[in-house]
Chain A
Amino acid sequence: MKSSIWKWNTRTVVTIGIGAALYGATSWIGIPIAPDTQLRPAVALLAIFGALFGPVVGFVAGLIGHVINDFLTSGTVWWGWALGSGITAAFMGLIYLSKGFNPQDGEIRKGHVVRFLIYGLVGIFVSLAFSGLFDIYVMGEPNDKIIIQTVTAGLANTAVFVILGIPAVWAYAKRNRNNTNLTVER
């Protein structure tokens, strides 16, 4: 059963809170790939929460998780990148709106994966374009440097999305398929 993405019941609130906490709790893992740029496996969680609970929950959870993590670990909120996390999750969460896509009940098809991939790639592109422009126009960073950072971050996020995110959603759906016809074999 999928609920509307605009209806906020208690479960929605808790899902956002726990999702944000999880994103915050795992964001400390990262492999430096360019100066001040990391490959963060936590990005996969954005894909998972987006796909499971929709773009709105994904966006808010990503944003809050990122802001809290910034608070706790860097003392400064990098708003451009925090909003970027939210945007990524929102785009990835578009898959939630697809017909017949319902990982909770084990419903996922190959076509969904293709669509999920496209949404994700677009999301990563849009969010990094946003974060990059934010850094250039608001923070006053040099273009060339930001391009290097965003391109590497984009490649890293894409890798995480493809290697961790998509398979995780696929595996989750597979797990939730009804276990009919299980027989005990002696």
Chain B
Amino acid sequence: MSKAGNLFVEGDSLFHRMDGAVKLILLLTWTVSTFLFLDLRIFAVMLSAGIGMLLLSRIPFRRMALLFWVLMVFTLINSIFILIITPRFGSTLTGSNTPLIPVGYDTINAETLFYVLTLSAKYLTLLPVTMLFIFTTHPSRFAASLNKLGVHYKMAYAVSIAFRYIPDLTQEFKNILNAMQMRGMGISRGDGNLWRRMKNLSLVVVPLLQSSLQHIESVSNAMDLRGFGTGSKRTWYMGMPMSRSDKWMLLLCVLLLVAAILLKGFWAEKFWYPF
């Protein structure tokens, strides 16, 4: 995590200029569309489109690498786990059974193998657009966007505060942990067995809570003193007017959603298994 507690990367691509609210809608439509299917063909198309958009945003790959690997490891573990627990799960979706790899107590079949591939593709499909959103949207624009989408400004500002204070609290938390460790009450491996370490961790709760309450007190005073929450609306310094390309994107999102629903209804309602 960067020092600023967000992953925003400066830039001037199409997506950097795009209204945050539109990007959020894109993210939500994309997510919902992905949720609808279990079909490798659709994921292949969406994944390529997603990667294409990610390339357009010109975010340097090294900034994204970590998140990419995290998800790869996640899906890999997930797939292996599924194969071990339910080696013939694919059959419940296709009705066929093509034994492939014997694992002693059972045999992993081709259907399941293809199923985990599809599932992994589903998870991967979610990644590019989420990344696009978090890497090209400054968190302060994020709050303004939420408000624009009809979320009450107080809720939107709560999100903004969360982004604002995550780095401060992370640092404070680490400092508290370190000081505890110096007194002999650490939570790393060298500090005792699991039970001991859990107990040590429980000690941290009190100072952490204490300092959070202090933060709440001083930040809400500061905001009250600057007139927060008195109006039924507020304006946003970081808000952006909608441009022509934003409107096109919105239209595209609507089309995507309609297409997805139609596809789901008439063509790709179930797990796609070509063999």
Contacts and interface: CB of A to CB of B under 8 A. Distances in A.
B204 to A, nearest CB: 9
Interface in A57-99: 60-61, 64-65, 68, 71-77, 79
B214 to A, nearest CB: 10
B98 interface: no
Nearest to B68: A75
A17 B159 contact: yes
Interface in B24-50: 31, 35, 38
Nearest to A39: B198
Contacts of A19: 212
A155 interface: no
Contact of A36 (B78, B170, B202, B219): B78
A172 to B, nearest CB: 7
Contacts of A167: 202
Contact of B202 (A8, A16, A145, A164): A164
B134 A75 contact: yes
Nearest to B161: A17
A168 to B, nearest CB: 5
Interface stretch (B81-89, B243-251, B254-262): B81-89
Contact of B162 (A8, A9, A21): A21
Q: How large is the interface on B (under 10, 10 to 19, 20 to 34, 35 or more residues)?
A: 35 or more
Nearest to B162: A20
17 contacts: A10-B229, A13-B223, A17-B158, A17-B159, A17-B161, A21-B161, A22-B208, A25-B170, A60-B158, A61-B158, A68-B159, A68-B166, A72-B5, A74-B71, A140-B119, A142-B86, A163-B202
Contacts of A145: 81-82, 85-86, 89
Interface in A1-43: 8-22, 24-26, 29, 31, 35-36, 41
B130 A76 contact: yes
B3 to A, nearest CB: 13
Nearest to B79: A35
A25 B161 CA distance: 13
B211 to A, nearest CB: 9
A144 interface: yes
A140 B81 CA distance: 15
Query: For the complex, would chain B's binding face be called helix, strand, loop or mixed by DSSP majority?
Result: helix
Contacts of B57: none
Contacts of B229: 8-10, 13
Given A9-B229, A168-B205, A18 B119 contact: no
Contacts of A76: 71, 123, 126-127, 130
Interface in B118-170: 119, 122-123, 126-127, 130-131, 134, 152, 154-155, 157-166, 168-170
A130 to B, nearest CB: 15
Nearest to A57: B158
Contacts of B55: none
A164 B126 CA distance: 34
Contacts of B159: 17, 20, 64, 68
Given A9-B229, A75-B131, A140 B70 contact: no
B186 to A, nearest CB: 12
A69 to B, nearest CB: 9
B191 interface: no
Interface in A137-161: 138-142, 144-145, 148
Nearest to B73: A36
Contacts of B154: 8, 12-13
